[in-house]
Structure 1
Amino acid sequence: MERMLSGNATANSEAVRGMPTEARAEPVRAPQLSPRARPTRFRGLLESLLARADIRIDGGRAWDMQVHEPSTYQRLLAQGSLGLGESYMEGAWDSEDLEGLLARLLEAGLDRQVITWADRWAVLRARLLNRQNARRAFQVGQQHYDLGNDLYRAMLGKRMVYSCAYWREADDLDSAQEAKLDLVCRKLMLQPGMRVLDIGCGWGEALEFAATHHGVSGVGITVSNEQADHARRLCADLPVQTRVQDYRSLDERFHRVFSIGMFEHVGVRNYRRYFEVARRCLAEDGVFLLHTIGSNVSVRTTDPWIERYIFPNSMLPSARQIADAVEGLFVIEDWHNFGVDYERTLLAWRDNIERAWPSLPARYDLRFRRMWRYYLAASIACFRTRQAQLWQIVLSPKGVRGGYVAPR
């Protein structure tokens, strides 16, 4: 999925430094208290911090935090975002309105005010290392996308499309996902006989839709074996090939190229190379569509909880980072933001998976369910507060002849 959250509304010093001085609150650092300090002192410190977001500990409102383990107070102060997510997974606290609580934390900027040594290390590591290099390319496939097709089938609905749906004229998730696939095809101006490349093809739904409705052939690549197996079955009677392959090894020509919800795994150190690969694979008169979650600020790291439990090596691009990476390679024909549609998509996924838990295998135990619930709630909060956007960007090598008119 487009990282949801993929989490660049996070506690990291890069984001804090990027804010105007007058907009910053004083950062809160982990307290240096004696191990003998009473839990009530930690509770008082946490209550003071949460009050900035109008959240009460053991309060009576839906978005308040109900704490079950006294050690939670110190843990949240010391570990920030990572401790918040892990302690929820372990049942140390709850909230009746989890996404509401997380949205209040984001709106109050607490994600930028609680800075831990782990956050500082993540920023330093991102500056020194390429966390999204070719050797690590398949890690997210193994950890996240290979969890089990039964899980994703239950959550995603009729079409296994793990990216933002398009709700402009749709009333349900399945219709909204088909509308999104149709929008992509119309923006690409597909014609029968064209050869199309899907970078990050997921379970093959986009290529299946394009081949069925527009008479194209194509190649889809993914880093997930589970996704590839499903896509091959889905497209078995169509002129579509699915490969388990890293995008960097692509070197063949296509009339059209698109990528839906994969760019969040590329990493800023690789953005230029990614677009160079897309350019060398695209015909001179071709069109490339990039569908990605975007961040309001330029950063190099993701939320530490998301990094550890959901999307390893992920990060969200900013508009500036994308523009810098495509300079001299592509003409930007259109930039469409429908990020407000992602909250509705995520709410539909959440409702689907909550209904499905009793029928899913026991390997998705209570800890996993709480992890997944927190992941979806954090993503909902991120889009509700407009901390993240959803962009569809249409690019061409030399400009579409006669001009490009983007459908909506």
Structure 2
Amino acid sequence: MIRPLDLGATQFTGLAGGYGGAAAVRALAHAQLSKHLLLIKFVVATWTGDPEPRDRAVDVLTRAQSAAPEVVADLLTDPLVGAWLARTTRRLRGAARSATPLDAECNHLSTVAAAAAALAGIDADLIGQPIDGGLALPRLGRVTVDRPGHPPVAVTVRAGRVDVAGASGWAPVRRLTATTAGQRLDVVLDDLDPYRGGHHAPPADRLGEADVRRWQEVFAAGWALIAAHDPDRAGELAAGLRTLVPLARLDAHSARSATIRDAFGAFGLTRPATAAEFAVMLVHEFQHSKLSGVLDLRRLTDPGAAELHFAPWRTDPRPVGGLFQGVYAFLGIAQLWARLAGVPGLPAQPEFALAREQVRWGLDSLAGSAALTADGRRFAAGMRAALDELAAVPVPAETAREAEEKVREVHAGWQERLRS
């Protein structure tokens, strides 16, 4: 009997409390593999173009999976493979549009198959179609194709080497790596994949080598803070964070980050200026990834609910799902700042007090929602229990008052916006 994937009760409760642990994150990632395989099956069954590229890709993926199942499983859980599958599925269902021809979008399957063959060490002969002037092989790099449009191109894989007819250039993926206190984080810095967009800012173009070095420096410093002071969170990140997507900086001052629901284990960001800023972004956005992974397995809110709520970090009314995501992200931030309290030079106490106050207001709003499912109420109760633990963390009375005043100012702005 085939049973649907789910979380165990202990994993669900742990995740609701803001952490969950590396094993729970691996369970969420395993669910992504099943999800991606189902979506590949749908794309293959629904794609109505030339069957030869499709059939070759399916054959290569099948042989690669047989030769190196763990390697192919790792590839197919790549977050941007998930982003491609989600977008293509929506197009096939008539729920999305794109300037890219649908056949080329579907035939990204051949590019994924080429990457699988190279990583699994098998030979392959495929028919690819360039997107945005090239073939981006997940976790490997991008081949520039010197032909206009989206023409079929021969793709040959031999002994781990990928050759593409009409190729005029190759750009390998870059990686960011860091090790502190025995904890290692290794992620792709993806400035190549055509499915890396969808954030509130466009993805950055190919980074220069000097810029990559700056990314590595601040990444390592941010990881050092987390690994040294919040090892449980470090274990989660090491188990589930796969990809960072550099975003274009739209102004000189603001740092931005965002997580896309369909890309578990990835998020987009502008390069943070400081180690603490990077650490907070890592935790904040990975909280969104974790909750999105939970939502693939459990329904926490009524998707048709029309409720709008005050979110204590912004002045526009938020749907209950958006509020849920925000509370979970800020819970993680508050937990991180609590653990960074003893680090010299960091504004840990005021940042902790503010995040804790934001979570309190957000949970109070969720408590009055009629849109939570039974699982949603259990998850919110887990967040409340974690907040109760944070309430015992001492901060100066003046710092606590300033945090409350800041949230009340945002609330006043929210009320003014409702009246206008």
TM-score, normalization by structure 1: 0.24
Q: Kindly indicate which of the two structures has a greater share of residues assigned to helix.
A: 2
Name the TM-score, length of structure 2 as normaliser.
Answer: 0.24
